[in-house]
Amino acid sequence: MLFKGSGVAIVTPFTNTGDIDFEALGELIEFQIKEGIDAIISIGTTGEAATLSIDEKLEVINFTIDKVNRRVPIIVGTGNNNTKDAVSFSKEVSELDVDGLLVVSPFYNKGTDTGLIEHFTEIANVSKVPVMLYSVPGRTGHNIPLNVVVELSKHKNICGIKDASGDLSYTMNIRNNTPDEFQIISGNDDLTVPMLAVGAEGVISVVANIFPKETSEMVHSFLNGDSKKSKELQLKLLPFIEAAFSEVSPVPIKYATHLLGFGTPELRLPLTVAEENVQQSIHQTLKNLNRL
């Protein structure tokens, strides 16, 4: 088990010239830990991994390792649609002082069921740390099929799945057909509490970049039996969740972290700074929730 509770899919701040803003990243990491986040997920989708070079990814990972200093688990996104590259990078990262790998299913070329099983198995075989599958059909064009998840759950080094399918039936079928120790982690901020109700044990959250304390409290309240408080927090955060996903992520959340003082709102192409209406929505919801 990599963590229980709320893990933040942390953004990668950039300067106005497009370089990585390590000062802002360090400040954001400190904010997350101070506010009670349970894990930090580095260079995932929210961290704009798709536009970081290998060298930049390793810089971010090593910086994060040093800054976190073992205070919370670090999980690193190492997925790729080229199995050879994914295996090589996953092996290299797993030999650093990290706690786990988050491996997205192959995108564009997708893979057959057999191909997916072999893809994830090769990565898990070389990794020195546990591997979490990541199913996000909105990004990859396909869900990891249930039978593939069930088969991979038997691998000793595959510990769970980040489920961003948005399909509670899929989530429930995973829970019914995998070992109890195989973790399900929500990948949808708007469905965290419903997913906890059917067997998830946490969330990897975009919104936690801004509301780490509230997101963690929402999950832990549910896990500790206080479903009423958990529900109230989910509903309280819903307006901001909707604003944070009103444009392709991480565009809105990058503007929100900027408003809180963690770097610029800049992204790397093909992503661009949030449109004016999205900026207004983010600003207003943060004011309504007393974050500004």
Catalytic residue, candidates 57, 134, 170, 255: 134
Q: Quick one: tokens of 213? A: 């304390």
Catalytic residue, candidates 57, 162, 170, 255: 162
200/223 Cα distance (integer angstroms): 10
How are beta strands 39-42 and 5-9 bridged, if at all?
parallel
190/183 Cα distance (integer angstroms): 19
The residues, ordered by sequence, that sit 6+ positions from 95 with a Cβ below 8 Å of its Cβ are: 128
How buried is residue 242: exposed, middle or buried, by Cβ count under 10 Å (0-12/13-18/19+)? middle
261/225 Cα distance (integer angstroms): 35
162 is catalytic: yes
3-state secondary structure of 20: strand
Q: Quick one: tokens of 22? A: 């390590």
In degrees to the nearest 10, what's the CA dihedral of 259, 263, 265, 266? 180
How buried is residue 124: exposed, middle or buried, by Cβ count under 10 Å (0-12/13-18/19+)? buried
Q: Which residues are catalytic?
A: 134, 162
